Amino acid sequence: MPFEEVKKIWMNGKLVDFADAKVHVLTHGLHYGSGLFEGIRSYVTKDRGPAIFRLDEHTRRLFDSCKIYRMEIPFSFEEIRQACIETVSANEFEDCYLRPLVYRGFHSLGVFPAACPVDVVIAAWHWGKYLGPEALEQGVDVCISSWNRMAPNTFPALAKATGNYMNSILIRQEAAIDGYSEGIALDVNGYVSEGSGENVFMVRDDKIYTPPIGASILSGITRDCVIRLARDFGYEVTETLIPREALYVADEVFFTGTAAEVTPIRSIDKITIGKGRRGPVTGRIQKEFFAYIAGEISDRYGWLTPVYAERAARKKPTLVAR
């Protein structure tokens, strides 16, 4: 689906028209993948209007990603948070996907980026169900990718860097060509790592397992939600190395991610997982997650930032680039 035009995109402190949100072809980030980004969702809630989900945690991860790459964001944490809120409201969105991106801009080429500006943009658009509308109920058919995730000390997996997504593209393309919805990559030691854009969980005998951050994963914010919600239900959740074959014999396997939310996996490499449909543990966690984001249960962790209430409470003037 081509992009549907939105009203405004936030660029370096200003909301600009969609048509004007352009960069030069010699932008550093375009040549070397020198960008760090986030993916955040805003949801319509029952009583609090549209609310951005886990805005603080996503903003924190963006700052962390930039720190790893020695890039100083020319805005404060609070300015970035507010800019996300502004971007949703300027587009009059309710549910939407937000994409903050920090990248080395236009100045000069060559790998050493110090002279290039650090540019910041935030876009928002409507993004439907990541792995298709039926996926949340029926589950998806996936494969183990022939591509591994990056080795430790090559590309830092904890940084959500644009360049990392070249590896994701290899995984996702291969899966699509072979007729699967998605691929799960192993790390360089052969243990389960993650999907091209999702973390992975497995359930066996009512116990839940997910790979640790040392398995070259992105430390997913949805992963954190699921760990907490599952523990609140009384499930034991263990972050541990998972060999590939443990997935084949699991009772349930599912993906988590901002875009993918909580998506069941019904087969891996054509091996049926459990009963070949969404399992009871996945169903329970998924239901709780959707109730949480919709504001149907209490926001006990303070994960929702209502867009309009926050804006009304804010007294600071409109943001300007430093």
Among all residues, which ones are annotated catalytic? 160
Of 16-24, 109-117, 193-201, 296-304, which segment contacts ligand PPE by CB under 6 A? 193-201
Which region among 23-31, 75-83, 131-139, 214-222 touches ligand PPE (by CB under 6 A)? 214-222
Nearest-angstrom CA–CA distance, 123 and 41: 12
Q: Which is nearer to ligand PPE, 144 or 319 (CB)?
A: 144
Q: Does 278 bind ligand PPE (CB under 6 A)?
A: no
Closer CB to ligand PPE, 275 or 301, in the complex:
301
* E runs forming strands in the chain: 8-11, 14-17, 35-37, 40-45, 49-53, 96-104, 118-125, 140-148, 182-186, 192-195, 199-204, 207-210, 237-239, 252-257, 261-268, 271-272, 304-306
Count, in order, helices (H) and strands (E) of the chain. Answer: 9, 17
Q: According to the binding rule CB under 6 A, does residue 59 interact with ligand PPE?
A: no
Among candidates 182, 10, 8, which has minimal Cα distance to 80?
A: 10
**Rounded Cα gap, residues 61 and 63, in angstroms:** 5
Residue 197 lies near ligand PPE (rule: CB under 6 A): yes
Binder of ligand PPE out of 79, 86, 182, 194 (CB under 6 A): 194
Residue number with CB closer to ligand PPE (83 or 157): 157
Minimum CB distance to ligand PPE, residue 114 (Å): 27
Q: Does 182 bind ligand PPE (CB under 6 A)?
A: no
Query: How many Cβ atoms from other residues are within 10 Å of residue 94's Cβ?
Result: 15
Does position 223 interact with ligand PPE (CB under 6 A)? The reply is yes
Ordered alpha helix ranges (H), 101-220: 135-138, 165-177
Among 220, 264, 274, 306, binds ligand PPE (CB under 6 A): 220
Single out the residue of 80, 221, 229, 250 in contact with ligand PPE (rule: CB under 6 A).
221
Tokens for 290, please give them.
């959707």
Q: Smallest gap, in angstroms, from Cβ of residue 76 to ligand PPE? A: 22
Q: Are 200 and 143 in contact (CB under 8 A)?
A: no
The C-alpha R_g of the chain, in whole angstroms, comes to 20
Stretch 248-267 residues interacting with ligand PPE (CB under 6 A): 256-260
Q: How many residues bind ligand PPE (CB under 6 A)?
A: 16
Contact residues: ligand PPE, CB under 6 A: 39, 168, 194, 197-199, 218, 220-223, 256-260
